[in-house]
Amino acid sequence: MRAKEWLCRRDPTHGKANRETCIGKRMEMSLANNTTWALWQRFMPRRNEIKNSIGIALYFIQVYASLYFDNFNPVSTF
């Protein structure tokens, strides 16, 4: 699995931000052809391989191109 660092807000009510390492899978998809279920299906069997986890929460992070919503098209991939 690949690891990528994200700036995650763990306590937004108090304005604290911590840098964490998020581990997961990546898949290109569109809103019209949403394959989120397939991504989770590939990830969950390997979840027990994650060592030193800080909690049980799971996050689904979607990264869109900077102009994705300016000319919205549900078949555009992200």
pLDDT at 57 exceeding the cut of 50: yes
d(C-alpha 64, C-alpha 62), whole Å = 6
Instruction: Give the domain ranges of the chain.
Output: 3-61
pLDDT at 70 exceeding the cut of 70: yes
* pLDDT for the residue numbered 4: 43
Over residues 46-55, the mean pLDDT reads 84
The answer to whether 45 and 26 are in contact (CB under 8 A) is: no
> At CB < 8 A and 24+ separation, what contacts does 4-9 make?
6/61, 8/59
> To the nearest whole percent, how much of the chain has pLDDT over 90?
23
State if pTM tops 0.75. no
